[in-house]
Amino acid sequence: MSQATRFEVQTYTICDGWVNCWCDEDEPAYYDTHDGAQAAIFEFFADLSRAGIVQAYRLEDYRVRPV
């Protein structure tokens, strides 16, 4: 029986390249669908925009990958 695919949001870092540094209660965050993970990125950027600091972040530094 094959294991179901999960997805993670990866962030590009200068030191380590692409890593999953998104956490849910100190554990790495995983999503059941690609769309769910992508929605988390968009929600993150909406929060940054509301806080007035979105200009300090780049959308291209975030991606969704299956794990």
> 32-36, long-range: CB within 8 Å, 24+ apart, which pairs?
32/4, 32/6, 32/7, 33/7, 34/7, 34/64, 34/66, 36/7
Mean local confidence (pLDDT), 22-30:
92
DSSP state of 29: -
Which pLDDT score, from 0 to 100, does residue 48 have?
98
Is 13 inside a domain boundary?
yes
Is 58 inside a domain boundary?
yes
Higher pLDDT pick, 4 / 30: 30
Residue 3 predicted with pLDDT over 80:
no
Is 27 inside a domain boundary?
yes
Is 2 inside a domain boundary?
no
Instruction: Give the Cα separation of 20 and 66 in Å (integer).
Output: 11
Instruction: Give the Cα separation of 33 and 54 in Å (integer).
Output: 25
Is 26 inside a domain boundary?
yes
Residue 40 predicted with pLDDT over 90:
yes
Q: How many domains does the chain have?
A: 1
Is 1 inside a domain boundary?
no
Domain of 36, in residue numbers? 7-66
| Whole-number average pLDDT of the chain | 94
Is 40 inside a domain boundary?
yes
